Amino acid sequence: MEIMKAVLGLEDGTCVTGEGFGVEGECSGELVFSTQMGGYMEALTDPSYHGQILMFTFPTIGNYGVDRMNFQAPRVWALGCVAREICPGPEVRPALADYFEENGLLGIHGVDTRMLTIKTRVQGTLRAALVVGSNDPGHAVDMAKRVPPISDSDLLPAVSCKEPYHIPGKGKRIAVIDLGMKKNMIVSLRHRDADLHVFPYNCAPDQVLGCRPDALFISNGPGDPVHATDAIRCVKDLAGTLPIFGICMGNQICGLGLGGQTYKMKFGHRGTNQPVRYKDGSIYITTQNHGFAVATDTLPEGASVLYSNVNDGTLEGFEDPYLDITCVQFHPEAHGGPRDTEIPFFDTMFRRLA
């Protein structure tokens, strides 16, 4: 079988060649890395990776094939996949390379992901281009240099639901703003029998109130949170009117809605092994995927830090008891990865609504 050529070019002029998998084609966006050892399909199907090429630092992926049960969306949202090695996978499931080929996806393996990860940690997130079916380094680097910064792009319309929809339940009525929501957020809410009214990214506060909710929940999503102007408006207008909860970008939206500020991180937090410290000093291992964060010193009066990152001290969640707002930057609903925080976050949420 003939090996398909592939090349990955970076904006700084770096170019690596490897073996392509999937189909011939090209894509360009931010190159980001995830440190997770499993859950590669959960990551690839996470809508928060829209606009990014996802590189795995673990040296081998694909060892258990493609597990569709844990997809976080019906399709792969990452623009492309970069790996040191991909496995054929077990015969009982489709192999990763076969799935990429059948679904028109782009990937490269056989490259030095350790070198690329170190470069990213030193220089920060770099714009990149992946070309499968060619090994022309100049073309890949030129493409990478032309990629606009991710903050220049509004990625939310592509990943959010197009129209409001309802998932009936016998429990508390939750209005959900879908900014590119992972499936397991719905699963965690439905495990508590929540009655869910899901709205697109551009919903208005009166639409949210129209379903007479017991609380507002804001999901994860891709890109720069400042583009989520309608969701920020919902927080501004509804804070103090009903309880508000947020995860990942939802955390950033709540911070912006209360007058705080966000910033782009050097290379972000992505993986299933991020330690966070709760306000009482206890430590949790969490799953994360974000390249932006709320600046702690911009939190408004009345809001306080709930969680902080053990590695770099960044804000991992805050609360405002007076306005009844609680949000976290990590993913308590995550599969596959640590679920240490699913019960504390979601059960506490529903106890407060009782």
User: Which residue among the candidates 50, 269, 331, 335 is catalytic per the annotation?
Assistant: 331
Sheet with 244-247, strands from edge to edge, namely 165-167, 195-199, 173-177, 215-218, 244-247, 325-328, 315-320, 304-309, 262-278, 283-294
Instruction: Please provide residue 266's backbone torsions phi and psi, each rounded to the nearest 5 degrees.
Output: -60, -50
Active site residue 109: no
Closest CA to 156 of 256, 47, 264, 257: 47
Rounded to 5°, angle at Cα 173 from 169 and 178: 95
Q: Name the active-site residue from 27, 333, 335, 342.
A: 333
Active-site choice (15, 211, 248, 254): 248
Q: Note the Cα 265 to chain centre separation in Å.
A: 14
Helix (H, G, I), strand (E, B), or coil: what is residue 152? helix
CA dihedral 256, 267, 148, 48 (to 10 degrees): -60
- Catalytic annotation on 248? yes
253 residue type, one letter: I
Strands 80-83 and 52-56, sheet pairing: parallel
Axis-axis angle for helices 249-257, 229-238 (nearest 10): 60
Active site residue 333: yes
| Catalytic machinery residues | 248, 331, 333
